[in-house]
Amino acid sequence: MRRHVLTAASLVAAALGLAAVASDEHGKPVEHEWKTAPVAPLLQTREQAAAKSAGCMDCHRETDEPSMHASPAVVLGCTDCHGGDAAVRWTGPAVEETGDYADARDRAHVLPRFPDDWHWPASANPVRSYTLLNREAPEFIRFVNPSDYRVVREACGACHLKTILAAERSLMSTNAMFWGGAAYNNGLLPFKNYLLGEAYTRDGEAAILEGAPATAEDRAAHGILEKLYPLPLWQNLEPADIFRVFEDGGRNLSNLFAETGLPNVAGQVQRLEEPGRPDIRQSNRGEGTGARIAVPVLNIHKTRLNDPLAWYLGTNDQPGDYRSSGCSACHVVYANDRDPKHSGPYARFGHGGTTATRDPTIPRDRPGHPLAHAFSRAIPTSQCMVCHMHQPNMFMNTYLGYTMWDYEADAPSLWPKEQKYPSAAEARAVYDRNPEGAAARGLWGDIEFLKRVSGLNPSLKDTQFADYHGHGWNFRAIFKRDRKGNLLDAEGGVVANDDPDKFRKAVHLSSSHADAGMHCVDCHFAQDAHGNGHLYGEVAQAVEIDCKDCHGTVGAYPTLRTSGPAAGPTGSDLAVLRNPDGRLRFEWLDGRLIQRSILDPKREWEVSLVKDSVTPANARYNERAARAKLMSRDVKTLAWGTEVAPGDLAHADDSMECYACHTSWTTACGGCHLPIEANWKTGSHRYEGGTFRNWSSYNPQVAREEVFMLGRRGPTEGGKVAPVRSSSALVLSSTNSNRERIYVQQPPIAASGYSSQAMNPHYPHTERKTETKRCNDCHLSAAGDNNAILAQTLGLGTQFINLLGFHAWVGTAGGIAAVQVTEWEEPQAVIGSYLHRHAYPDWYRQHEARGQLLQHASMNGSGPARCLQHRGEYVYVAEGERGLVVYDAASIGNKGVSQKLIAAPFSPLGHDARVRMKDATCVALATTQPVHPARNQGDLMRVANLEQPFAAIYNYAVVTDAAEGLILVDINTLADGEFRNNFLERALTWNPGGLLAGARHVALGGNYAYVIADAGLVVVDLTDPLAPKAAAPVPLRDGRASALQFRYLFVTDAGGLRVVDVTHPMQPRLLPEAAVPLARAAGLFVSRTYAYVADGARGLAIVDIERPAQPGLIAHFDGGGAIQDARDVAVASTNASLFAYVADGAGGLKVVQLTAPDTQPNFYGFSPEPRPVLIARYPTPHPALALSRPLERDRAVDETGGQVAVFGRRGARPFNAAEMRRLYLDRDGLPWVVPDEW
């Protein structure tokens, strides 16, 4: 199959070459003489139509809606849509097992090219048919689904051509938001005006899509794209991520290609091995050849994430996955979910994909059949959830109050008692349905168990599960909780964790719209579903409905005209919409706006009107709503009310999305792991299909609900303030055909140079009336207890959902130790943890039997690593008199490489990443997320992509030297994919008047470096990194280390823990009352409302810093005396649990589980109180001194407004410094607070 349509962009030119791919996973083709039936007519007489149904009805007898349409105005015969021969007649029973019957059937029906794959003559949608539709004869596709986009013009075009053209271009068909986002966020394509989208010709070939005509101004104003190109083949695209194996140069394993024209036939040149030079490169050919290819594109082709979308049938293999393709993907309802809130009136039909048709020929018990032969506009949310259940696919579980399960909640009920050891075949059978690596080991990998998961709810302790399981996944319910994680009822009262009725008493945080009985289609009407004919790359741009269209504003009642980004100049007229039962959808009755359910003719509700809620005399007046909506910008008086001029409103609807406040929770995909393996031969889900080696499982790691952040939307949505979510913060691994891990848990870098730990503004769809954001979610509380909350809201990160993955990076007195702390298998449970106990009971028992000793570590033998930072494939180490040394750790998981931590991969002549210093004491990077500022340059980034420039600090590693002061080293060459230029040099040495003598620790907060030196805390302004400025030192008693959280810097010194107010960093203010005396406070780590301080022999001091000005010691934890010399600590999450990693001096590494479902039932809280349990240890050969900070997965922006993480959506960004300050500082720079009772 050729890709003849790909001509325009050099990008897609790369895809041209690939020849036909064997489709060996498909059955043998059987060719027929297919006759294309005439196009279904616009109009005809009933007699004419009847003639086209005559023979069909001999067997089918009766059906639900013969024309599929409820309207009697539509006159169609069977063959008008399906083709086939209605002249073939049958006088016997409807179903008969005879040759005559089969003969008549085969003459009447259109026959498939791939009868085995369709299970001909069975009529059910085959499971996971994917590209079968691209191979099959269009006449047969029309026969099984006349509304499939490949053939839809023939059946539906006479009446609905405009809608067809729009629907093919809608994001639900093109998938452009996912492909574009994935391409940009992973550095594949540098265009935020996306280029890629899915579409096919009638013959199933890849198609370029052109959008409806639009002016250049409209394109710019609305984000309208001109064209979408097919996804290139991953096999010959250059790699997106410049991991070390993808860098040019080096020698490689024996060539993958048949060589021609070489002087020696044995290909000896390629086999040349050079002594001492690790053989780890992917190819000796150019980019886009051999294994030097685009791995993210492989995932899009093969790993079941978003797919299939509307061009394909659903996978029809598990509850939540039953649907058709094309128009029928939505308009024909299948049985997917038994919960009436999700399925409305269809709930009673079960979730097994079986039919309730009147047609006697359709088996009642065979899944994959629609409920009825009828189109419906009464589309239940459960039908939408077939696709909208994955993070980059407009994650809509939130609407129903669910998010992805994390493998930990109620683990005892979902993991087998006996550890499973799935064979490759068993695992493959599960992964074909469900790409979660963990599923092969869990009980839910068994589809019969999966179907019954929601039946477990009455016996569950930690959560409740939804009744739909698209992709084979489990979805856990979100409940109202306080910040400590206590379950709350509607009045805010705490519901006891041991209350057997707790999940009925606690508020399930589904959208209040869902609670009112609304389904997706009750807000998103025809245009939102079909699109408007333009091509878009961003979901929000393609939405025409806006909150105010139905709810109005503080000053006006709703117009019932759509006004969202995709609305036309006058908007769509909601007042004339009619429901399937014929009633008006919206109607004003006596000043009340009534909306009637599309699904349930008996259900209607009154729409809340914003104006009423803020009008004091109105019966529906709500003071809290009025205060929030009518608050003035005057932060000194906090005056509010109807007298505030519209231009003075603090929360005006033209500058803020309604759901910035009306959001009860936001989903946070705080990370997922895509481990590619060369030895999984699997089928591609798109285009030509075919099977290839290489496949990746999909492993959500930290799916949380309490990560609320704000940022700004791009200009096409008015640049409004909106919630920001962490969206698919990927880490990638790759195992080659020799089972060598050629990279391990690497975060890619986005095309803009920002970290790929992606964020984006979004609409959480969790709006509620009571459980909204409160004043103190975004502004300083009078009680002074929301510093961590604000750090989260502003996107600064809270050091809670950090990734500390396969290895803990420990600095020891004798070099670095990379200690393996998790399993490699999925789930990557921390060894010895709660999850480990349930997912791997055998291995857990063995671990316990070994005295909790971890087994594997890689070490180098260099100087003392007193301070280190792991980032990407490098480890930055301050090694005293050896200076700053940057080690290449790319091969840390590679069994084929003996020395895994090396200073010079190519000899010191070709690579020198060591900067000599007198006494390097500490190194810090502005972010632990890999970034590459050099990519973020030029008009493409500034103008076309509307990216902000990087702050200059991101070019450097910041080093303290006890003798030399502050040293900056430009580290950009390590991220540029060029192996020949890695010669690091110092860019700045700065120590004016010996101010930084004895410098021993540095922490960075945006452009400010917080240096601990002999003089105490010295804040250094590095806005211009090569021209630093220092503030007057804050004296300390032998300061040791510091950690920053928003307005406060936590410092350890001889006296213990101290707190410095750094609201204005250059005017640091030690809070004399805020002190926690500790004997040997050393390294510390601040994670949300707790500070963890390494306190020597006493172990780990856990300090409550919810009110930073009044820190309070909660406890010391020494693991029953096991921790004897705590020097440093790092905190990170794995799945639903929080862990501390302790550098315990001579005791080596200690792993402490801080929360677990069995020790802390409040583990889903924003900051549950830690319940430390020692679970693992590794005795490093030299004393463990330090820990690398983990990957900060929720840090979108730094404290001075410098962007860190890539933001999806053109022009979207985190708050800049001025915007952040407006939330908590008045014009005089003084903090202002909101009353706690607000």
Partner 1 sequence: MSGETIRPAGVTARLLLAATASLCAHPALAADAPASHLGVASCASGVCHGVAKPVENASVLRNEYVTWSHFDPHAGAYRTLRGEESARMAARLGIADATREPLCLDCHAENVTAALRGPRFQLDDGVGCEACHGASERWIASHDDTPRVTHADNVAAGLVALERAEVRAGVCAGCHVGSAGRMAGHALMAAGHPRLTFELDTYSELWRTSGGREHYRRDDDYATRKAESGSVAVWLAGLVEAADRTLAIAGDERHSHGVFPDFALFNCYSCHRSMKLRRFRDAPGLAPGSVRVQDSALVMLAAVLDALEPARGAALRDATTRLHRAANEGMPALREAAAALRREMPALRVWAAGRRTADAERDAVLAAILGAAERGEFPDYSAAEQAAMAVTLLLTASGRTPDSDPRIGALFDDLRDDERYDPARFARILSRIR
Instruction: Determine how many CB atoms are found less than 10 A away from the CB of residue 238.
Output: 17
Q: Which stretch binds partner 1 (CB under 8 A): 73-81, 129-137, 329-337, 507-515?
A: 73-81
Question: And the tokens for 110?
Answer: 């259109």
CA dist., res. 1193 & res. 669, Å (int): 9
Alpha-helical runs (H) found in 497-586: 502-505, 512-515, 526-530, 547-551
Whether the ω angle into residue 827 lies within 30 degrees of 0, i.e. cis, is yes
CA dist., res. 164 & res. 152, Å (int): 8
* Angle of CA points 159, 162, 164, to nearest 5°: 85
Q: Which is nearer to partner 1, 582 or 616 (CB)?
A: 582
Q: Which is nearer to partner 1, 562 or 982 (CB)?
A: 562
- Contacts with partner 1 in 951-1010 (CB under 8 A)? none
Whether the ω angle into residue 112 lies within 30 degrees of 0, i.e. cis, is no
Q: Which is nearer to partner 1, 74 or 212 (CB)?
A: 74
Q: Say if residues 480 and 771 touch (Cβ distance below 8 Å).
A: yes
Q: Does 72 contact partner 1 by CB under 8 A?
A: yes
- Contacts with partner 1 in 199-238 (CB under 8 A)? none
What type of residue is 385?
Answer: M
Minimal distance, residue 596 CB to partner 1, in Å: 11
Instruction: List C-alpha distances in Å: 1182 to 815, 876, 1082.
Output: 8, 19, 18
CA dist., res. 1131 & res. 1085, Å (int): 7
Among 62, 116, 279, 573, binds partner 1 (CB under 8 A): 573
CA dist., res. 113 & res. 491, Å (int): 62
Q: Say if residues 554 and 611 touch (Cβ distance below 8 Å).
A: yes
- Contacts with partner 1 in 309-328 (CB under 8 A)? none
Distance from first CA to last CA of the chain, Å, rounded?
64
Among 9, 21, 50, 159, binds partner 1 (CB under 8 A): 159
Classify residue 91 as exposed, middle or buried by CB count within 10 Å of its CB (0-12, 13-18, 19+): exposed
Minimal distance, residue 37 CB to partner 1, in Å: 20
Among 8, 22, 30, 43, binds partner 1 (CB under 8 A): 43
- Contacts with partner 1 in 494-533 (CB under 8 A)? 526
Q: Which stretch binds partner 1 (CB under 8 A): 256-264, 567-575, 722-730, 1145-1153?
A: 567-575
Q: Which stretch binds partner 1 (CB under 8 A): 569-577, 616-624, 861-869, 1204-1212?
A: 569-577
Minimal distance, residue 588 CB to partner 1, in Å: 9
Q: Say if residues 1061 and 1073 touch (Cβ distance below 8 Å).
A: no
- Contacts with partner 1 in 792-831 (CB under 8 A)? none
Q: Does 45 contact partner 1 by CB under 8 A?
A: yes
Minimal distance, residue 349 CB to partner 1, in Å: 21
DSSP string, 248-307: S-S-BSSPSS---S-SSTT-HHHH---TT----BS-SS-TTBTTBS-HHHHHHHHS-SS-
Q: Which stretch binds partner 1 (CB under 8 A): 223-231, 580-588, 735-743, 918-926?
A: 580-588
Q: Which is nearer to partner 1, 576 or 783 (CB)?
A: 576
Among 16, 18, 74, 1146, binds partner 1 (CB under 8 A): 74
Site mask for partner 1 (CB under 8 A), range 585-604, x = bound: ----xx--------------
Residues that bind partner 1 (rule: CB under 8 A) add up to a total of 26
Q: Does 71 contact partner 1 by CB under 8 A?
A: yes
3-state DSSP call for residue 180? helix
- Contacts with partner 1 in 851-890 (CB under 8 A)? none
Q: Which is nearer to partner 1, 67 or 325 (CB)?
A: 67
CA dist., res. 878 & res. 957, Å (int): 11
Q: Which stretch binds partner 1 (CB under 8 A): 67-75, 417-425, 807-815, 944-952?
A: 67-75
Minimal distance, residue 590 CB to partner 1, in Å: 7
Q: Which is nearer to partner 1, 70 or 94 (CB)?
A: 70
Q: Which stretch binds partner 1 (CB under 8 A): 533-541, 581-589, 931-939, 1044-1052?
A: 581-589
As a residue count, the chain comes to 1238
Q: Which is nearer to partner 1, 530 or 847 (CB)?
A: 530
What type of residue is 932?
Answer: H
Q: Say if residues 1099 and 1080 touch (Cβ distance below 8 Å).
A: no
Q: Which is nearer to partner 1, 422 or 580 (CB)?
A: 580
Q: Which is nearer to partner 1, 159 or 1070 (CB)?
A: 159
Query: For residue 834, what is the enclosing H or E element?
Result: helix 834-839
Minimal distance, residue 53 CB to partner 1, in Å: 15
What type of residue is 357?
Answer: T
Minimal distance, residue 72 CB to partner 1, in Å: 6
Query: For residue 494, what is the enclosing H or E element?
Result: strand 494-495
Q: Which stretch binds partner 1 (CB under 8 A): 37-45, 325-333, 534-542, 817-825?
A: 37-45
Q: Which is nearer to partner 1, 214 or 526 (CB)?
A: 526
Among 202, 583, 603, 1221, binds partner 1 (CB under 8 A): 583
The phi-psi region of residue 75 (left if phi > 0; otherwise alpha if psi is between -120 and 50; otherwise beta) is: beta
Q: Which is nearer to partner 1, 104 or 560 (CB)?
A: 560
Side-by-side strand order, sheet with 1149-1153: 1128-1134, 1137-1143, 1149-1153, 1173-1178
Minimal distance, residue 558 CB to partner 1, in Å: 15
Q: Which stretch binds partner 1 (CB under 8 A): 43-51, 349-357, 538-546, 784-792?
A: 43-51
DSSP string, 1014-1042: TTEEEEEE-SSTTS-EEPPPB--SS--EE
Q: Say if residues 1173 and 1159 touch (Cβ distance below 8 Å).
A: yes
**DSSP-assigned letter for residue 982:** -
3-state DSSP call for residue 47? helix
**DSSP-assigned letter for residue 478:** P
Q: Which stretch binds partner 1 (CB under 8 A): 41-49, 688-696, 931-939, 1044-1052?
A: 41-49
Site mask for partner 1 (CB under 8 A), range 1073-1092, x = bound: --------------------
CA dist., res. 909 & res. 124, Å (int): 66
Q: Does 606 contact partner 1 by CB under 8 A?
A: no
Among 11, 75, 724, 1012, binds partner 1 (CB under 8 A): 75
Among 105, 153, 160, 524, binds partner 1 (CB under 8 A): 160
CA dist., res. 721 & res. 657, Å (int): 6
Minimal distance, residue 325 CB to partner 1, in Å: 22
Residue in 895, 907, 906, 913 with CA at minimum distance from that of residue 744 = 895
CA dist., res. 906 & res. 913, Å (int): 11
Among 39, 102, 576, 1054, binds partner 1 (CB under 8 A): 576
Minimal distance, residue 167 CB to partner 1, in Å: 14
Minimal distance, residue 71 CB to partner 1, in Å: 6
Minimal distance, residue 159 CB to partner 1, in Å: 5
Among 575, 678, 940, 1122, binds partner 1 (CB under 8 A): 575
Q: Which stretch binds partner 1 (CB under 8 A): 69-77, 94-102, 253-261, 365-373?
A: 69-77
Q: Say if residues 1052 and 1081 touch (Cβ distance below 8 Å).
A: yes
Summarize as ranges the residues that interact with partner 1 (CB under 8 A). Answer: 43-46, 70-75, 159-160, 526, 572-573, 575-576, 578-584, 589-590
